[in-house]
């Protein structure tokens, strides 16, 4: 695996690769890699001829500076895991490489309701930061296929919207959420959980699964409220438990029994914020 740090170098290297007609698959990450991240690399390995992964903890998408400071870093382990998964190139830029002119952006990405609901509501500015970094990184890597995880359902929709707005020619592939045996969605932030918190964390998946099991056409507010109360009773501080239309993320109170839905939750265990989602009808995708 070749490691590139400077954007100019990886850019010209990939241009020459592209000239030879190979397809490039790309999985952007913030590191502290786990099997969820590696599943994106493996999928890219199967689908494309040349696989790139990036590791960059993006300051502009952290609305809480403490969360940024405490973001886990396990670079040696990450390099080893990527080598093992057959990744061809690791792009490992520094903050000035990605933001040569500082963090202030003159661009405002028009994300519609995605910016004001769920993660957009609870993490103001987060998705503009995601767009800032993805705009820059996609410009450097210019992949044929972009691999994202369903774990970040709303982020997938935001990046789809960004690719549309910028008219970038890349195909987006959404990979299923990898889970621990007890159901907890794999996440780099899980490394920050204490043993007691780690034991409680799968309750998020349990309550979402129970929504999936019990949802019926009609008013669904009680179902959401029960799920919220279960989390609170287990010591979570809940940002939201919601049910939304899978294609638009519009939050609904009543279900017609047909429209594809997704249920999503975000909750803190002390300092650590966890998110998860489950698609309620298998044909739906972010
Ligand atoms: P992150 O490093 O958290 O920014 O995630 C990088 C990419 O990996 C994003 O596309 C995530 O959605 C994806 N990802 C994170 N956790 C998982 C998981 N448990 N299963 C599948 N993909 C994941």
Which amino acid residue places its CA nearest to atom 5 of ligand 1?
Answer: 29
| CA 256 to centroid of ligand 1, rounded, Å | 31
Tell which atom from ligand 1 comes closest to the C-alpha of 185.
Answer: 19
Query: For residue 81, which phi and psi values (nearest 5 degrees)?
Result: -65, -40
Q: Tokens in use for 281? A: 């009808």
Which amino acid residue places its CA nearest to atom 14 of ligand 1?
Answer: 149
| Ligand 1 near 54 CB (within 6 A) | no
Tell which atom from ligand 1 comes closest to the C-alpha of 37.
Answer: 8
Residue 149 burial by CB count (10 A; 0-12/13-18/19+): exposed, middle or buried? Answer: buried
Which amino acid residue places its CA nearest to atom 17 of ligand 1?
Answer: 36
| CA 231 to centroid of ligand 1, rounded, Å | 23
| Ligand 1 near 128 CB (within 6 A) | no
| Ligand 1 near 129 CB (within 6 A) | no
Per residue of the chain (286 residues), give pLDDT as tens: 999 999 999 999 999 999 999 999 999 999 999 999 999 999 999 999 999 999 999 999 998 899 999 999 999 999 999 999 999 999 999 999 999 999 988 889 999 999 999 999 999 999 999 999 999 999 999 999 999 999 999 999 999 999 999 999 999 999 999 999 999 999 999 999 999 999 999 999 999 999 999 999 999 999 999 999 999 999 999 999 999 999 999 999 999 999 999 999 999 999 999 999 999 976 556 7
Query: Is position 126 annotated as part of the catalytic site?
Result: no
C-alpha distances (whole Å) from 66 to each of 69, 72, 270, 276 are: 5, 12, 13, 21
Measured distance CA(206)–CA(184) in Å, rounded: 9
| CA 251 to centroid of ligand 1, rounded, Å | 23
């Amino acid at each position: 695996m070749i490691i590139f740090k400077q954007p100019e170098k990886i850019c010209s290297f990939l241009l020459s690769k592209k000239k030879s007609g190979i397809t490039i698959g790309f999985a952007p990450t913030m590191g502290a890699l786990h099997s969820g991240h590696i599943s994106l690399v493996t999928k890219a390995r199967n689908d494309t001829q040349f696989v790139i992964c990036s590791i960059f903890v993006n300051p502009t998408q952290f609305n809480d500076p403490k969360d940024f400071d405490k973001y886990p870093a396990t670079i040696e382990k990450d390099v080893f895991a990527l080598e093992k998964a057959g990744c061809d190139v690791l792009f490992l830029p520094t903050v000035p490489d990605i933001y040569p002119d500082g963090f202030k952006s003159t661009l405002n990405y028009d994300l519609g309701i995605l910016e004001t609901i769920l993660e957009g509501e609870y993490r103001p500015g987060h998705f503009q930061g995601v767009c800032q970094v993805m705009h820059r990184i996609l410009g450097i890597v210019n992949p044929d296929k972009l691999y994202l995880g369903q774990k970040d359902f709303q982020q997938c929709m935001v990046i789809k919207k960004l690719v549309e707005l910028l008219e970038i020619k890349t195909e987006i592939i959404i990979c299923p959420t990898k889970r621990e045996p007890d159901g907890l969605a794999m996440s780099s932030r899980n490394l920050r959980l204490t043993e007691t918190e780690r034991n409680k964390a799968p309750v998020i998946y349990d309550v979402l699964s129970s929504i999936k099991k019990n949802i019926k056409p009609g008013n669904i507010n009680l179902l959401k409220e029960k799920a919220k109360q279960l989390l609170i009773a287990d010591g979570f501080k809940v940002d939201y438990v919601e049910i939304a239309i899978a294609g638009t993320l519009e939050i609904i109170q009543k279900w017609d029994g047909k429209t594809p839905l997704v249920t999503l939750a975000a909750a803190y265990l002390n300092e650590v914020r966890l998110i998860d989602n489950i698609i309620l009808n298998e044909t739906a995708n972010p």
